[in-house]
Amino acid sequence: MNLGLGIDTGGTYTDSVIIDLDGGKVLSKSKALTTRNDLSIGISNSIDNLDASLLNKVKLVSVSSTLATNSVVEGKGCRVGLIVAGYEFDKSIVVEEAIQIRGGHGLNGEKKEELDLDMAKNFVLAVKDKVDGFAISSYLSVRNPEHEIALKRMMEPLTSNPVVCGHDLSSKLGFNERTVTAVLNAKLIPIIADLVASVKSVLIARSIDAPLMIVKGDGSLMGESVAKQRPVETILSGPAASLTGARYLTGEDEAVVIDVGGTTTDIGILRKGKPRLDPEGALIGGWRTRVRAADISTSGIGGDSRVVVHNGRIHLAALRVVPLCIACEMYPKVLEKLEKARNICLRPQPSYLDINRVNQSTEFFVFSKEVNGYELSQQEKAFVELVKQEPRTVQEISEITKEHPFSLNYKRLEEIGMIQRFGLTPTDILHAEGSYVEFDPTPSKIGVGIQAGALGKSPTDFCQAVKTAVIEKIATELARKLICEETGETSYCKVASDFVNKFVKLENGIDYSCRMKLNKKIIGIGAPVGTYLPRVAERLGTELALPEHMEVGNAVGAITGSIIETVEILVKPKQGMGVMDDPPCVLHSSDEMREFETLTEAVEYARRVGAEIAAERAIISGAEDVEVVVENNEMRAKLGRDWGNDVLLEIKILATAIGKPKQFFEGRGR
């Protein structure tokens, strides 16, 4: 029996599954809380809840993770020195050291100016002890990579730090986007290396001897060695795994996949059985990259979203907090404090107050971890010391420090991860009403009672109101995603907003009503989807699929993907010669720029070399039984009838190598 172990380290939970790779059956599954300070603890806890008798039969391990995505959003990573050649880069790109030198190329691959290697060398020698890695981006290196190659060759004897070139990560135009991609890749190298080391230490401790794969942002897999070289490709790994898992569990080729997690809800689309990719590259943390990734719409609504009662209304904030039902398991004293909070009446809070500054008697802060590199004010130091002692509310800290609650500056401490907030969440709502119970529901019921009382509602009505708010939020995000997908627009007017509100809330206006019907089925992934998605599907007039094992769908997707490596080579006729039948051409690839006397020779060379490179990359990533498909995509300009034939502008040769990950079988050596 050949078994695979899939692991997904999400923002809240770490899921794991063992699957029979031959029969496709899920044999064992598990969930455990993700331990952000040390991922190996959460991974260990999740694996330890699996059927232990199956672990020694595991022949393949694959991991999907939100680690790269979260690191980019949170601005984490190693210190990077950036060298750009031939063009001014966006100064908002966050790097520790940077220099711009002469060099770069033109659109046809011609040298723009001589490369200033001496200036680059002096820069490397000056900053090599101040950074942990280097990124190189030369203008139009996708048309001619020689300057990036020369810079990397010059730097290798000077530093042991990793050196990343933009042309190795993308063949698409876009200097700033390629520069961002190179910088993020350099920043993420130690983070993904730590993830790989954490997973391997857990596997070794359990005598699991199998290859380790990592899920890429497009849902395909790559080997651990490649992941450590190109970690930026793991951005959106977790959401992409949910799409792959949804396809595997349902067999649906065309569907909308909604993954409701603890921290976020991710929405993606399956087209012809594959995740729909973002043609421009992943957009993450406000940065447009050139990373091939699934086109995912992420909204800050999940099981651990913050439920706030303010100004007579229920609000759902994107901030992730630890649910009360989990908090009391970690800190039993929270239950005692919640009991006391029944009788606490908070001071009136201004109606105009930002929702993130609203204090709740059901919210507590605890110390999370020490964070270096930040100088704390006296007030911040006092706040940290008090929450180190025990969980405390803002009101408690205000009474101890004699400072007004609104003057306490705890927001920065929360943003840098030094403190953690506990509070009422949709997870608590489900625990309080009994529809989903994994922990002691007592603290959840108390929290619901307090907040329901503040609104003059019964606990039952309060729970229903929060669930409705979650349903309407998910339905709104889904509608926005599909409207933008259909129209190609990223924003819409007040009229469109009114239509969306009417069909999401099933409201009738004075003169008209509006309903929407999806032409695709919805597939739900995640533990709480059975509570929310039936009413989402009802509002949007479509069918809902809730597959078996949906609560661990990401982990299923992690272990059932394929290794896919794609190589793109561009062939362009020489200037003014595109009308010829077999014109002389220039070839542009990630390794070279090369001239050919005829189009036929250039295309034959590109197809052969592209197939070889794609197959080699797939094998390096751990694939076996590799198949390669090569496509020619021509771009022509149509001329008038009196002007002769069309003009050939370019041919893109796309070589795609596909294979399943190599497994360790009995009798097979490493």
pLDDT in tens, 595-632: 999 999 999 999 999 999 999 999 998 888 899 999 99
The pLDDT of 223-228, averaged and rounded, is 90
Task: Check residue 667 and give its pLDDT.
Answer: 35
The pLDDT of 174-195, averaged and rounded, is 89
pLDDT in tens, 109-131: 899 899 999 999 999 999 999 99
The answer to whether residue 656 scores a pLDDT higher than 90 is: yes
The pLDDT of 506-517, averaged and rounded, is 86
How far is the C-alpha of 93 from the C-alpha of 77, rounded, in Å?
Answer: 13
How far is the C-alpha of 654 from the C-alpha of 453, rounded, in Å?
Answer: 62
Q: Which residue would you say has higher pLDDT here, 75 or 630?
A: 630
Residues near 264 by beta carbon (within 8 Å), at least 6 away in sequence:
11, 298, 299, 300, 301, 302
Task: Check residue 669 and give its pLDDT.
Answer: 36
Where residue 170 falls (left for φ over 0; alpha for ψ -120 to 50; beta otherwise) is beta
The answer to whether residue 20 scores a pLDDT higher than 90 is: yes
Using H for helix, E for strand and C for coil, what is the string for 272-295?
CCEECECCCCCEECCEECCCCCEC
The answer to whether residue 346 scores a pLDDT higher than 80 is: no
Q: What confidence tier does 568 reach under pLDDT thresholds 50, 70, 90?
A: very high
Residues in the chain: 670
How far is the C-alpha of 496 from the C-alpha of 216, rounded, in Å?
Answer: 35
Q: Is 317 strand, coil or helix? A: strand
pLDDT in tens, 420-476: 999 999 999 999 999 888 899 999 999 999 999 999 999 999 999 999 999 999 999
Task: Check residue 270 and give its pLDDT.
Answer: 94
The answer to whether residue 665 scores a pLDDT higher than 60 is: no
Rounded to the nearest 10 degrees, how much is the dihedral formed by the CA atoms of 647, 569, 86, 166?
150
Q: Which residue would you say has higher pLDDT here, 350 or 332?
A: 332
What CA–CA distances, in Å, run from 82 to 136, 185, 460?
6, 12, 57
How far is the C-alpha of 365 from the C-alpha of 306, rounded, in Å?
Answer: 13
How far is the C-alpha of 58 from the C-alpha of 449, rounded, in Å?
Answer: 47
Q: What confidence tier does 666 reach under pLDDT thresholds 50, 70, 90?
A: very low
Q: What is the mean pLDDT of the chain?
A: 88
Task: Check residue 492 and give its pLDDT.
Answer: 74
Backbone angles phi, psi at 275, to 5 degrees: -60, 135
Q: Kindly state the percentage of the chain with pLDDT values over 70.
A: 96
Residue 366: which H helix or E strand, with range?
A: strand 364-367
Task: Check residue 644 and give its pLDDT.
Answer: 56
How far is the C-alpha of 55 from the C-alpha of 61, rounded, in Å?
Answer: 11
pLDDT in tens, 241-280: 999 999 999 999 999 999 998 878 889 999 988 898 888 8
Residues near 495 by beta carbon (within 8 Å), at least 6 away in sequence:
none
Name the one residue in this structure whose structure tokens are 């004075």: 510
pLDDT in tens, 358-416: 888 999 999 988 877 678 899 999 999 999 999 999 999 999 999 888 888 888 888 77
